[in-house]
A = this chain, B = another copy of it.
Amino acid sequence: MATLKYSRQREVIKEYLASTKEHPTADTVYLHVRKTFPKISLGTVYRNLNLLADTGEALKITTPDGGVRFDATTTPHYHVLCCKCGCVQDLDMKPIDTLDEQAQQCYNGIIRSHSVLFNGICSQCSKELSTH
């Protein structure tokens, strides 16, 4: 892998990613970053997001609807997908470290890690539901 060179664009993307608790799509990142960097191109955003994912500075997560989202929190954690608004939130729950071992008992190959996605309704949307 070639040595990285500093770039103002990448820095802005990292800052934005670290500042938000949402899990923005590439497009959302583009829209926000463009506020402070109007001439940035979507291609550059994609290139840098993938770069950050490769170097482990960000996480690339895919939702069941096929959407790709980025997450600056790289320590293992689970996610909740809201089936109303489609938002993805972090779940403040300790990952089950014995899960891999359990799975290994039932599997011929090698288990390395796992990811869990919960489906549900975020607090915002469930509030709106109850007011109807």
Count the copies: 2
B113, B119, B122, B124: the one within 8 Å of A114 (CB): B119
How many angstroms between the C-alpha atoms of A89 and B109 in the bound complex? 10
Tell me if A66 counts as interface (CB < 8 A to partner B). Answer: yes
Contact with B along A86-98 (1 / 0, CB 8 A): 0001011100100
Q: Closest CB-CB distance, A124 to chain B, in whole Å?
A: 8
- The yes or no answer to A31 lying at the interface (CB within 8 A) is no
Tell me the count of chain A residues lying within 8 A, CB to CB, of chain B.
Answer: 43
9 residue pairs of the A-B complex, CB under 8 angstroms, read A61-B64, A62-B65, A99-B116, A100-B118, A109-B123, A111-B118, A111-B119, A112-B120, A113-B119
